[in-house]
Amino acid sequence: MPNISQSLPNPGILKDVQILVVDNDADTRYLCSILFESYGAKVTTFELVTDALALLDCFAPDILICETRFLNEDVWPLIQRVKAMALDLKRVIPILVASAYRPGKSEQALTQKIEVHLLKPIDIDRLVDEVWNLIHLAKSTSQPNIQDWVINHRRWSKRHLAEANSI
């Protein structure tokens, strides 16, 4: 496994962050593992939603990164389970969706439950920035009111994106 952490700025910015990646694409899972581990995170990956759901019986991630489209599986139970777990644990567990597809009208309920949706191919720097920002926003929120948190994060993301585009 290549050691890329020596060339990264702030290689420990995600130290001990538990990241759960659920994606049917092996390259995406591998990239996320290498990338986030180089920043100090602990990454668990699954190809199947059902396997990830089984893990959630004994594991609570700090963030979920997932695809929306799976062959013969629906991601909705995974997202609902993570949000329910967050409420039970009285903390925020953000969800970042990385997909080659824009959400359609049929996925409207799904988009209300996620914090960030990135279209593939994903800019790696933006992915790391989004994960870092979501983790730090989640840690700064003591008692999660998920809806308020999502609204505030979306406002922050739009402002952050506008500032980045103006540079």
> pTM for the whole thing?
0.78
Mean pLDDT of the chain: 82
CA–CA gap between residue 133 and residue 44 (Å, rounded): 20
Domain coverage including residue 105:
10-166
Between 123 and 111, the more confident residue is: 123
Q: How confident is the model at residue 3 (pLDDT cuts 50, 70, 90)?
A: very low
pLDDT at 32: 97
Query: Is residue 140 a part of any domain in this protein?
Result: yes
CATH of residue 38's domain is 3.40.50.2300
Query: Is residue 2 a part of any domain in this protein?
Result: no
Alpha-carbon torsion, ordered 76, 31, 11, 167, to 10 deg: -80
The model's pLDDT over 24-60, given as tens digits with 9 standing for 90+, comes to 999 999 999 999 999 999 999 999 999 999 999 999 9
Tell me the range of 9-13, 47-51, 144-148 where mean pLDDT is highest.
Answer: 47-51
Query: Is residue 125 a part of any domain in this protein?
Result: yes
Query: Is residue 23 a part of any domain in this protein?
Result: yes
Query: Is residue 47 a part of any domain in this protein?
Result: yes
* Structural domains of the chain, count: 1
How many other C-beta atoms lie within 10 A of the C-beta of residue 121?
9
Which contacts qualify for 112-117: CB closer than 8 Å, 24 or more apart? 112/150, 113/79, 113/80, 113/83, 114/79, 115/149, 115/150, 115/153, 115/154, 116/153, 116/157
**74: which residues sit within 8 A by CB, 6+ positions away?**
49
Task: Give the rounded percent of residues in the chain with a pLDDT score beyond 90.
Answer: 56
Nearest to 82 by CA among 98, 96, 69, 93: 93
Enter the tokens of residue 155: 């406002």
Q: Is pLDDT of 163 > 70? A: no
